[in-house]
Structures are given as C-alpha cells and as structure tokens.
Structure 1
Amino acid sequence: MSLTTAPTRPRRTWPAALGISLGFVALLWVLELVDALPGVQWDDDGIRPRTGDGLVGVLLAPLLHGGFDHLASNSLLAALLLFLVLLGGIGRGLAATAVVWLLGGLGTWLVSPAGTVHLGASGLVFGWLVYLVLRGFVARRVGQMVLGVVLLVVYGGLLWGVLPGQPGISWQGHLFGALAGAVAAYVVARPGADTSRG
C-alpha cells in the first residue's frame, strides 16, 4: 500500500464548494419557510416505508424538516460537511452525495416501521461524516486521513445516533445514511474510480 498526498486543487474549487454548501442550506430554509405558510403541508411528503408514494419521499425527505428547530439542528453541520465533501472535488462530492441521498433513503424506506414518516437532512449529515472519515483511508491520501481522524474525534459522538433510542428521531435514517456514506467512500474515493469530473 502506498500513500500519496492530495494534488493541489485549482483555486476555484473552494469558492464553488462554499457556494454550493451555503446555497443548499439556504434552499432548506426557503423550503421550510414555504412549508410554514397556511395551507402548505409538506411534512407528509417524506419517506413513508414500503409505499409507492414513500419512494418519492426518498428524493424529497432530505429537503424537508419538521419545523425550524429541526432544521436549525441540521444546518450548520450540513453546511460544514458538504463544504468539506465538495472541497475534495465538486464532481466527486456530488457523486458521493447522490449515493448517500439515494441509498440512505432506500434503506430507510425498506426497514422503517409502517405508518411512519421520515424527513430531514440528518441522513445526509451522517453519510457525509462517514464518507469524510473513511475517504482518506480508501484513497490512501494522508491529508484526507488526518481530516477524517479530526472529524471522528470532534463529531464521532454523533454516530451513536444510528442506534434506536430517542422517540421521534429516525435512527433508521441515521443508520442508512452512515452506511451509504461508507459505500460512497468506496465507490467514489477508491483508487481507479473515475475522477475525471473533479
């Protein structure tokens, strides 16, 4: 096994990564503001396990939140982790996000109890965190390994959220988001993966 250092990224990567991550969180706030308007009720459009309509929720759930407190609890960490994911390459970061979004949502749809609705960006947050922790070890890049270890030390306690416990919290969404993050690290960051899009 050989270790390499990450190639220097073009200067334009960090402004694009920052713009996309802040834009994503701003979109979440706009959607929640609209959802708070009289007559608007999007919270039922999340993941409803093993129903046809619930599959649409796989696409919508990370964009919807159960109120401003729920959104606020996800916003800062979502912006930070998405920025760090995209900083490793916009194309790779978007590919990793797509894997986490879809696989995490499908896993939640498959195993969660019937009659429940799952929504919120926390599945993405768990997926991005696990992706960042594992990415450097999969890619064999020292700088990314160091970042992964730092993130694990600072935010690793969040990963207890994959276990059942707190009522009203979708541990299934957390668990399958985290597992999807591991899959994304292997698929996107492994040596030989297509990195032609950055």
Structure 2
Amino acid sequence: MKDANNLQFSKSVFLIPTIYIVSIWVIYWVEITFGYNFNKFGVFPRDLVGFRGVFLTHFIHSDANHVFNNSIPLFVLLVSLFYFYKDVAYKVLLFGGFLTGFITWLIARESFHIGASGIVYLLFSFVFFSGIIKKHYRLVALSLIIIFLYGSMIWYVLPIKDGMSWEGHLSGLVTGFFFAFIKRKKGIVKKEHQFSKTEFDLLFDEKGNFSPPKIEDELQE
C-alpha cells in the first residue's frame, strides 16, 4: 500500500509540469504550422482587451528559443513546487500566475508582453524564499541549488535587455516572495523537538522552584 501511494504521489508530481511544458510547445506548433500569431493575446497594459493576456500570456511565446529557454526551468521549478509544497502548489501556480499577469498589466510598458517567464520567476522566488523563511535544511539546500542554477535570472528584473519583459519578471519575483511569506506555515515545516519530562524535572514546579515529592505521597504510592 505504501509503495502504491508513493508511486501515485510521484506521478502527480510530474503530471502538471509535463502537461504545462507540452501545452506551450503544442501552442507554439499550432502557430508556426497554421500561420497564426498569438502575440496579440498577450498582456497589453492598462487596456481592457489587453487584460485577457493576464490569463493567456503564460502560454504564448515568440519563437522556439523562447519556448526552449523557459521549458527547462519551468519543469524543474514546477516539480520542486509539487514535491515540497503539494498542499499549496495549485494555489501558488493559479493565483500566483494571475497576480503576476495582473501586476504586469498595471506597471508594464505599452506593448504586448508574452511568455512563461513570469511563472518561472514566480516559482523561482517562491521556492527560494520559502526555503529561507522556513529554515528547513532540505528546503535551504533546494534554495541554494535554485540560486546556483538560475541565480543570473535576478538581473533580468531590471531593464537591461531590449525586447525582454523585465516588468513580467519583476512581477513574478514580487508575487513569489508574497506567497512564500503568507504560506510560510504550509508545506514542509520545521518541527520543534519536544522533550519529555524526566524524574529530575519532576523535582521542580511550573515556576522552576525546587519541590520534591512528600514522603507521605511516596508511601501512598
């Protein structure tokens, strides 16, 4: 039974990451095969029609390199999310994805903003800061691995490269930190070790005063 549960859990950990990666590649394949251009469905800031991009932008990419560059970190970070934070994984992904797109819609330049980079930064930020906040050795180790693999991403929350939506990256980073803070008591939580009372402890009362048992009490026992 335990092996069956572990197998089912392992499948669920990889299911959503696999579906997400396959989805963005299928959507891009549809674009190039049938001559569509879905860029207009991305986030266009402070425009009512452009608000639909808040929900759609994370599935739209400009070219094959764009899809490929997002695919690997997306898969790694999604697996990390669903493995270590299975209780809140869907909320972080869905609500975090919406909030990332919404903040982009509020603050970004007037242009179409597309790509799953916002989700990448959301997950990167959530996993990293959760590990630090929880002070759990496994999560801290994961955080160090994440920062080692994708640490250079931090520079792209600044306007240092033309044609890149740094606003979407910044939105994801801020949103990830926000969710890491409000969900700090969810997922793996470091447990305080509780010591049982010894005979020595019984010699003291609740205030710490020395209070040995009475001889009469011992005789009655």
Task: Give the shorter-chain TM-score range.
Answer: 0.7 to 0.9
- Whole-angstrom CA distance in 2 between matches of 1:91 and 1:24: 19
Aligned partners of 1:99 and 1:180 also within 8 Å: no
Matches within 5 A, 1:1-198: 11=6, 12-114=8-110, 116-188=111-183, 190-191=184-185, 193=186
**What are structure 2's unaligned runs of at least 5 residues?**
189-221
Alpha-carbon RMSD across the aligned residues, in angstroms, is: 1.8
Change (3 A) 1:131 1:176: same
Aligned partners of 1:42 and 1:64 also within 8 Å: yes
> What TM-score does the superposition give when structure 1 sets the normalisation length?
0.86
Quick check: which has more Rg, 1 or 2? Answer: 2
**What are structure 1's unaligned runs of at least 5 residues?**
1-9
| 1:142, distance to aligned residue in structure 2 (A) | 2.2
Question: Percent of counterpart pairs with the same letter?
Answer: 26
| 1:141, distance to aligned residue in structure 2 (A) | 2.3
- Whole-angstrom CA distance in 2 between matches of 1:150 and 1:75: 18
The one-letter amino acid of 1:122's match is S
Farther off after superposition, 91-100 or 76-85: 91-100
- Whole-angstrom CA distance in 2 between matches of 1:13 and 1:158: 30
Farther off after superposition, 146-155 or 117-126: 146-155
- Whole-angstrom CA distance in 2 between matches of 1:127 and 1:27: 19
Asked which structure has the greater RCO (Cα within 8 Å, sep 6+), the reply is 1
Farther off after superposition, 28-37 or 87-96: 87-96
| Structure 1 runs (4+) greater than 3 angstroms displaced | none
SS in 2 for 1:149: helix
The one-letter amino acid of 1:166's match is K
